[in-house]
Amino acid sequence: MKKRFGGTDRDNRGMSLIEIIIVVAIMSTMIGVISFGLSLVSGRPAEECAQKLASVIQHTRTITMGKNMTTITIYMDADGRIAAREVSERILDNDGNVAVDEKITIVGDKGVEVVCHVAGGGETEITGSNTLELSFDRGSGALQTTKINGAVSGNCTMIVISKANKTRYIVITPVTGKLSIQNTP
């Protein structure tokens, strides 16, 4: 539609700068929402859980080799998230006085599945009622004991983390205590 203004013809079929800014803002919001949804569907939470859990396990192993008796318990909290509780006991003096430090880290979002595989073929999924406790040798850092629901079991050799279509494997070498994150078992 053409209008006469000040003796000249103007064509008002274009967009103003404000309209362009509004369209760009709406499109960026939509792209953000879609990419967040795709990250949940693509299994990003499994990757993040594997990274965080491996980090916490390695931290526990390192602290234990520093002469503090430290254990890590992996469990599902009341909100359905995977959590890791590090309990460290350190000797304060020659009289045997001990200080206990506890640290809880949320390592996995709701809906992430964590399964512990033990030597000999058994496996246990971490749920609201199933827990996994690992402790390491102070001298060598080797995996010393694995407890499932408080009972000693075979050594944990692999922790499988999955969500949607993505699965990550934390492989633990019991003799050395070293671990690695892998895409395949």
- Examine the domain organization and report whether 27 and 87 are in the same domain: no
Do 36 and 55 share a domain, yes or no? no
The CB density around residue 81, as the number of other CB atoms within 10 Å, is: 16
C-beta separation of 134 from 153 below 8 A: no
Beta bridge partners of 100: 89
Q: Tell me the percentage of the chain whose pLDDT exceeds 70.
A: 88
Same-domain status, 177 and 147: yes
Give residue 126's pLDDT band: very low, low, confident or very high (50, 70, 90).
Answer: very high
pLDDT value for 116: 93
Distance CA 45, CA 80 (A): 14
103/30 same-domain check: no
pLDDT 10s digits, 23-38: 899 999 988 887 766 6
Q: Residues 47, 36: one domain?
A: no
Closest Cα to residue 99, out of 137, 60, 70?
70
Residue type, 114: V
Give the model confidence (pLDDT) of 101-116 as tens digits.
899 999 998 889 999 9
In this prediction, residue 11 carries a pLDDT of 62
Instruction: Domain of residue 130: give its range.
Output: 43-182
